Chains A and B, each alone.
Chain A
Amino acid sequence: MQSHILSIILFTPLVGALLLLFVPKENKDAIRWIANIFALAGFLVSLPLVPWFWAQIQSPERFKFLEGATNNWIPSIGAGYVLGIDGISFLLIMLTTLLGWVSILSSWTAIENRVKEYYIWFLVLQTGMLGVFMSLDFFLFFVFWEAMLVPMYLLIGIWGGPNKLYAAIKFFLYTLFGSVLMLLGILFLYFHHHTVTGIYTFSIPELYKTAPQIPFHYAVWLFLAFFLGFAIKVPMFPFHTWLPDAHVEAPTAGSVILAGVLLKMGTYGFVRFSLPFFPQVLTSSETFLSVTVRGWMIGLSIVAIIYGALVSLMQKDMKKLVAYSSVSHLGFCTLGIFVLTPLGLSGSVLQQVNHGISTGALFLIVGILYERRHTREISEYGGISNVMPVYATITMIMFLSSMGLPLLNGFVGEFTILQGTFMANWRWAAWAAPGVILAAAYLLWLYQRVFFGTVTNPKNEKLHDLTPREVLTFAPLIIMAFWIGLYPKPFFQILDQPVNQIMADYNAAQGNAVNAAVQPEILPAVAAPVAVAANDTKGKK
């Protein structure tokens, strides 16, 4: 069972999709029940992974629950069906199975036309996303990466809002553009591996060994190819404009998955591929327009944090506001990645999970009002606390989680990222810090306009509060938000090994050069005494 757990998790949703093919499309309730059962089953089968993974966090293997073997799928080209996870992918897989279930549950009344296709595509999407996080073979990875694009395209294009075709095509072409460049990068790595070792393979652990030796002037182009693929997915400034359109037009559950999981593929790609493959690029002191590659990454992240928040502040459409807040939050995630400190990296992965929980919940929240009133214009609302008190309370909790209030999840991630950033360079942290203030500004202002005051719009007077099913969709997210906020230690422990592995590879590949590069540059100050003082205190304990 343990040896096939990943395949079981991976294909449970797909089995559900196949089963749905045989259900007559008129029988909507049966379709809904089957889809929900399989979505819940997909979550439940992933639960045993938690204790099993926990038992293995100390084991030295980089990837656990390995399944399949290198080149076993299409031996002639060196493609294999290889699955395996580390702490980073483990957390993202758990997030995916949870959000998959939550978003399918949330669609029960929201989707009324072409119900059968909707659930089939949703379940296919679920398998695609899980595959991306599990694959240890680039060929397999790319298959899942692209396979996931089509269902999402259809979800936006068929079940979306008035401008759905524009949004769907924009989403599809933009991300496809990035993936094609990434494919070229993958092929380069593949052939380079052959040149060095004489073996054709797409195996990611094998490519880890050869890629860092690619000379800088090639590697920088490869980095750029992968960067575009991932930066569009994240999305990083200035590749973000597909996101608001896609979010505004997508159905609620599509937005939840889009923000909660799909965006994480970009950041996951940075952590899984860009960092281990191209240490030579990120630590190089070569500059472009007098900024290093790492400097560019950090600069774009900080711009995303501030800019995303500023644009978010001025939105008139709730969903667009949340979409731009995602740009800001993901800026924190990429910042944490590229500062290249263990703290930043741990915080970043944790924040990816947090963002999935909080922003996923925010889209559910917007979806609830949209389902009742069919508008997302902020000015249409006001005084909703009076008619929907339970909803208002849950919204407040999730807003607070999103703006990083301590004892809720968002704080832990942001705090760790900011401290990791500060350790690398205090100026970066100082630039990113206003993002925290602006987050409070745009969320509280939104809350005030929607929930406070008296009901001025007669259409809002009869709104009914959350149904038990709707409360159930929020419950797991709220529990997770408090868990991570109150006791994040297990999450940090799960991330210990992969993060240290990446950082150790980094330091090994770069030798001492990296130490010099990561060394903080700050105010001139006395250095030695602190070390002495620190040792003194340790001695006394």
Chain B
Amino acid sequence: MFFLEHIWLIPLLPAFGAAMMFFFGRKLQKSAVSAVCVGVVVLAFLWACGAVWEYTEWAAAHDHQPYQQVIYTWLGSDTGHLAYSTQGGSPAEFKADVGFLLDPLSSIWLLFVTGVGMLIHIYSIGYMGHEGGYYRFFGYLNLFMFSMLTLVLGNNYALMFVGWEGVGLCSYLLIGFYFHRKSASDAANKAFIVNRIGDAGFLLGMFTIAWYFGSFRFTEVTEMARSGHFAMGDPIITAATLLLFVGACGKSAQLPLYVWLPDAMEGPTPVSALIHAATMVTAGVYMVARSNALFVLAPTSMKTVAIVGVLTAVFAASIGLVQNDIKRVLAYSTVSQLGYMFLALGVGAFSAGVFHVFTHAFFKALLFLGAGSVIHALSGEQDLRNMGGLAQKIPTTFGTMLAATLAIAGIPPLAGFFSKDEILWKSWVANPILWAIGFATALMTAFYMFRLVYLTFWSPSRVDHEVEHHIHESPTSMTMPLVVLAFFSITAGFLGVPRSLGGSNRFEAFLAPVFAREATVAGAERGTPTPAKEEKTEPTEYVLMLLSVGAAIAGWGMAGRAYRQAGKGYTEPIAAAAPPIYDVLLNKYYVDEAYDYAFTGRRKLGGVRLGTMGLGEASTWFDVNIIDGTVNGAGWITRLTGTLSKWWDTWIIDGLLVNGPALLARVMSYPTRLLQWGLVQWYALVMVAGLVGFVFYYTYR
């Protein structure tokens, strides 16, 4: 049990690598950087293998319980004082551990995340060899591995959220790796902020769960959800699951929050392969699968998941039909495939959804790495219109990419056939309309993938002469991962061969402790077959299987007809047939533009700015003019009052009332004052005059 007991080392190893790069990366040689960063991931992979191996033994002896290990209490005081009461009024403690959980579900993610991660790390040694910021790149990549492994291994929603935001951060850092380019930093911001919208939903969903169940722990929440105390369609569980699904839509690029993923292709290609195809974007699927016990109690949420999933699948696939950038085609393909996975979850086929995640990880990582190898060979060219005829020049890349294309298109017996077919079959059982849309998507998938292969490898060369001289196969560090991934793209499907084809679906059996009960609940809720009835509808299953193989081959054929001879300036068949539709698809249904008008406010609608920036401008105006205006107004009024008071004081109080009487007295006293102006001679004169007067008066009376 050595590996299992030290399971915390698995995320910690890449964290150590990232810390080394943070502190010393600048001073290290490239070879030392590769040794540390790739080394820790290889170790993590080996450790993960050991832990999963030990877990299967441990689980057999422990009734297939999840293995849980709590390291320390992260959030909360752990004294019981930080309490709240749940919605039902029972006491609960605010608490989230740093603790790890290993069960079949996390085992699968753990294995392919470390495995594919390891291969992509190795690939990056060659791909990034000539780039600046080598240590920075590997530091971020290690940090990503740490976050992703925390997300997968966390034993509660809060810790999952740590990984959740952590992968978002790494995605931001890596999309913006070429930060000199405005488009790269724009795409990075877009990815982070759109993800944050989802994260806000996740947060609220998590709070709802804590408030309703009194715990963040998966085991406790699942146990309570399974206890049977909750009615089917419980409104709070419905709300919680829908909020969680908002988070999943952000992280896993579903409608309407998918817009960041195609732009994320601004990052280096290994990043696109690791983060934006194989691992991070499947986190939403993981979260919904992890909460399956809650989702099955909320049929409304399940329907929402299925509908959003299938609509995303067909929507993104249709855009993928006409894109010219090799990575963008793959990006829309990823969005579309993620839609398939959610479709599976939504119809209650949890293990089918997870199986598709698993197989998709191999072939999509391979497609991206192959595209990277093509871009590498063509000195940075990404436009399909400037490729062609590379099959002989870079044979390993071609061969492996062809395998991945066959796998994703659903050609038996490659991996994609088994996983996709199971999803289509399960959605037929749930609702034939879902199947029909899924089937149409399968046809488009085959078309756009073979379009990519024809335009890159088989059609006549349209490569610039300058570039043509430099075409070379990639170094072994890059082709080796391609070969390994090709091997798994071809064979991984055999883990889940359905019973109808004589297999035993070992994949589903492995996941049974997590899903079996919920899958039954979901089936019963719909009133559609449980596994026992499945046997009887086998003919339909075979028919559907043949149909989807037919679709794959038809898509291949159509692509071949259209692009086999594509020379310089070839025309797209859709552009020839229906130019307006082509324009809409090429411009991705103008969703980005619409968002810029309505939500971000980066574009003005007829001179008026709407959205967040519009609100921001309005708020700023309000702040400067109304609020601060009021404050300054109060100051101004105070000063005005002061001025008026001063005037009043000077002219009325002091002038009129105080100095006024004084003036009056002065004016009135003037005549009298004349009489006594202090000149003695004058007084004598007056006396003499008086005397003379008296004398005259008495004399002449």
Task: Tell me the A residues contacting B by CB distance below 8 Å.
Answer: 170, 173-174, 238, 240-242, 307, 310-311, 313-315, 341-343, 346, 383, 385-386, 393, 400, 405-407, 411-412, 415-416, 418-420, 422-423, 426, 429-430, 433-434, 436-438, 440-441, 444-445, 448, 451-454, 486-489, 492-493, 495-497, 499-500, 520, 522-537
Contact = CB atoms under 8 A, between A and B. Distances in A.
A72 B617 CA distance: 55
B75 A415 contact: yes
B77 interface: yes
Contacts of A488: 74-75
A452 to B, nearest CB: 4
A433 B246 CA distance: 13
Contact of B211 (A238, A240, A241, A423): A423
B616 A537 contact: no
A313 B613 contact: yes
Nearest to B88: A530
Contacts of B224: 530, 533-534, 536-537
Given A440-B196, A527-B88, A492 B77 contact: yes
A434 B203 CA distance: 11
B638 to A, nearest CB: 9
B536 interface: no
B207 A419 contact: yes
Given A342-B81, A405-B169, 8 more contacts: A241-B628, A423-B84, A426-B211, A441-B189, A441-B612, A489-B73, A496-B77, A535-B90
Given A441-B193, A487-B72, A523-B235, A406 B161 contact: yes
Contacts of A526: 88, 229-231, 234
A334 to B, nearest CB: 17
Interface string B84-107: 111111101010000000000000
Given A418-B203, A436-B199, A489 B616 contact: no
Contacts of B203: 415, 418, 433, 436
> A-B pairs with the 7 shortest C-beta distances?
A530-B88, A529-B229, A492-B77, A531-B90, A406-B162, A422-B207, A241-B628
B177 to A, nearest CB: 11
Contact of A530 (B162, B200, B213): B213
B208 interface: yes
Contacts of A341: 84
Contact of A453 (B162, B185, B199, B200): B185
B86 A534 contact: yes
A170 B77 contact: no
B193 A307 contact: no
Contact of B189 (A313, A411, A444, A499): A444
Interface string B617-634: 101100100011011000
Contact of A242 (B88, B182, B631): B631
B204 interface: yes
B275 to A, nearest CB: 17
B518 interface: no
Interface in B624-671: 627-628, 630-631, 635
B494 interface: no
B99 to A, nearest CB: 14
Contacts of B620: 310-311, 314-315
18 contacts: A310-B616, A314-B616, A416-B94, A423-B84, A436-B199, A437-B200, A452-B185, A487-B72, A489-B77, A493-B77, A497-B81, A525-B87, A525-B235, A530-B86, A530-B88, A530-B90, A534-B214, A534-B224
B462 to A, nearest CB: 32
A488 B189 CA distance: 29
A520 B87 contact: yes
Interface centre among A342, A393, A436, A440 (most CB of B within 10 A): A440
B615 interface: yes
Contacts of A429: 204, 207
B90 A314 contact: no
A491 to B, nearest CB: 8
Given A405-B169, A415-B75, A534-B214, A524 B235 contact: yes
Given A241-B631, A531-B90, A523 B192 contact: no
B538 interface: no
B64 to A, nearest CB: 17
Contact of B179 (A385, A411, A419, A536): A385
Contacts, number: 214
Contacts of A441: 189, 193, 196, 612
B613 A422 contact: no
A527 B229 CA distance: 10
B212 interface: yes
B79 interface: yes
B307 interface: no
Contacts of B592: none
Interface centre among B82, B84, B211 (most CB of A within 10 A): B82
B220 A419 contact: no
B78 A489 contact: yes
Nearest to B238: A523
B514 interface: no
A444 B192 contact: yes
Nearest to A451: B179
A445 B189 contact: yes
A422 B92 CA distance: 14
Given A343-B82, A487-B74, A422 B211 contact: yes
A393 B211 CA distance: 38
B149 to A, nearest CB: 14
Contacts of B174: none
B380 interface: no
Given A406-B166, A454-B180, A493 B79 contact: yes
Contact of A426 (B186, B207, B628): B207
B239 interface: yes
B223 interface: yes
Interface centre among A313, A314, A342, A524 (most CB of B within 10 A): A314
Contacts of A405: 165-166, 169
A405 B185 CA distance: 19
A403 to B, nearest CB: 8
Contacts of B558: none
B73 A537 contact: no
Contacts of A436: 196, 199-200, 203
Given A422-B207, A440-B192, A528-B88, A407 B78 contact: no
Interface centre among B73, B224, B616, B617 (most CB of A within 10 A): B616
Interface in B150-197: 158, 161-162, 165-166, 169, 172, 176, 179-180, 182, 185-186, 188-189, 192-193, 196-197
B562 to A, nearest CB: 40
A436 B196 CA distance: 8
A427 B600 CA distance: 24
Contacts of B208: 422, 426
Contact of A310 (B74, B82, B619, B631): B619
A220 to B, nearest CB: 24
B495 interface: no
B627 A238 contact: yes
A462 B148 CA distance: 39
Contacts of B77: 346, 489, 492-493, 495-496
Nearest to A529: B229
A525 B85 CA distance: 15
A434 B212 CA distance: 22
Given A487-B74, A489-B77, A493-B78, A419 B210 contact: yes
A492 B86 contact: no
A276 to B, nearest CB: 18
A343 B94 CA distance: 8
Interface string B19-43: 0001000000000000000000000
A412 B90 contact: no
Nearest to B219: A537
Nearest to A523: B235
B129 interface: no
A383 B87 contact: no
B75 A416 contact: yes
